[in-house]
Amino acid sequence: MGLGMSDAAWLRRYARGVRVAARREGNPRRAAKMEDTCRRLEAAARALEAAAGGRVAFADYARVDEVAERLRIHPESARRLMRQGVLPAVRVGNLWLMPRAGLDVAVVEYRDGRSRGRLELLEGNQTSGGL
- Strands 95-99 and 61-63 turn out to be antiparallel
- The predicted model gives 34-63 an average pLDDT of 76
The chain-wide mean pLDDT, for the chain, equals 77
Residue bearing the bigger pLDDT, 118 or 81:
81
Q: For 53-111, where are the E strands, in sequence order?
A: 61-63, 90-92, 95-99
Would you say the pTM of this structure is higher than 0.95?
no
In angstroms and rounded to an integer, the radius of gyration of the C-alpha atoms of the chain is 20
Lowest-confidence range among 53-57, 102-106, 119-123? 119-123
Confidence of residue 1 (pLDDT cuts 50, 70, 90): very low
Q: What pLDDT, on the 0 to 100 scale, is given for residue 114?
A: 65
Q: What pLDDT, on the 0 to 100 scale, is given for residue 52?
A: 46
- The predicted model gives 6-24 an average pLDDT of 87
Q: What pLDDT, on the 0 to 100 scale, is given for residue 24?
A: 92
